Amino acid sequence: MDRLAAGPGRARTPPPWRELGGKAYFRLPLSPFEMTITDTALSARLRQETKAAHTRAERRGIMRAFLTGQLPAESYIALLANLHAVYSALEAGLTAQAAHPHVAPLYDPALHRVAALEADLTLLAGADWATRYRPTGAAQAYAARITELARTAPLGLVAHAYTRYLGDLSGGQILKRMVAPILKRTDGAGTAFYDFPGIPDPDGFKQRWRAALDALPLSAGEADFVVAEALGAFDANGAVFEALA
């Protein structure tokens, strides 16, 4: 069910983290001088500042074949298995941090994709799909980054939720039409990943989700961190597409 139907929640600014462990895309603010609240809507910044990275990701690896309906079915199944690794990490992290002040206003199980991916993979590849389709190193690195954020900097999960879920509700619906010729099916089976039964109004949901995002009282440094992490997310997606080519 659409949790955001009642409107965005409110959040408090948590204590700043000193730094992200491992590979950091941006350093969170360390001093009060960096804690000024940003004036620019974060959703607008994400849309504008990730546009080029989004376009680059769509042109990497298997995506050209996918967008023209020429991707082999085996490659599409491998893509779903890789996405399963990513969404498993994302949804585990979001669920673990669902009460976090930066995550709570945006958390909604209606977005979750793991069960839908498992349904598609079982239908298309059989019950043993997990032993036959292993995630690439790129997908494992992507999932590891998300897991690290869930542990050390939950605000970063917001960037990955934005990149994946809002994409699924937007361009993902275009990709759904490409799947039928790839799978050579006319019954629509194997596309549960693109269906959101708990979100009957995707456009309205996206507006409410962006409003909740913009309502987060983030410092300028924290907003920069989310944008930088979203750029990293698009690069990570592109790396998965390349690994599958």
> Read out DSSP for 126-184?
-TTHHHHSPPPHHHHHHHHHHHHHHHH-THHHHHHHIIIIIHHHTHHHHHHHHHHHHHT
Structural domain includes residue 176? yes
Residue 28 lies in a domain: no
Asked, for residue 234, whether it belongs to a domain, the answer is yes
Please, where are the H alpha helices in 23-105? 42-49, 51-58, 63-67, 73-96
Domain hosting 87: range is: 40-243
As for how many domains the chain has, the answer is 1
Fill in the DSSP letter of residue 12: -
pLDDT for the residue numbered 186 = 86
Residue 34: inside a domain: no
Is 72 contained in some domain?
A: yes
- Does any domain span residue 29? no
The per-residue pLDDT string of the chain (245 residues; one tens digit each, 9 = 90 and over) reads 666 754 443 333 333 333 333 333 333 433 333 334 446 899 999 999 999 999 999 999 999 999 999 999 999 999 999 999 999 999 999 999 999 999 999 999 999 999 999 999 999 999 999 999 999 999 999 999 999 999 999 999 999 999 999 999 998 888 999 999 999 988 889 999 999 999 999 999 999 999 999 999 999 999 999 999 999 999 999 999 999 99
The torsion angle over the Cα atoms of residues 181, 187, 189 and 191, rounded to 10 degrees, is: 60
What is residue 39's predicted lDDT score, i.e. its pLDDT? 65
Kindly state whether residue 1 falls inside one of the protein's structural domains. Answer: no
- Output the domain CATH number for residue 96: 1.20.910.10
In a domain, residue 26? The reply is no
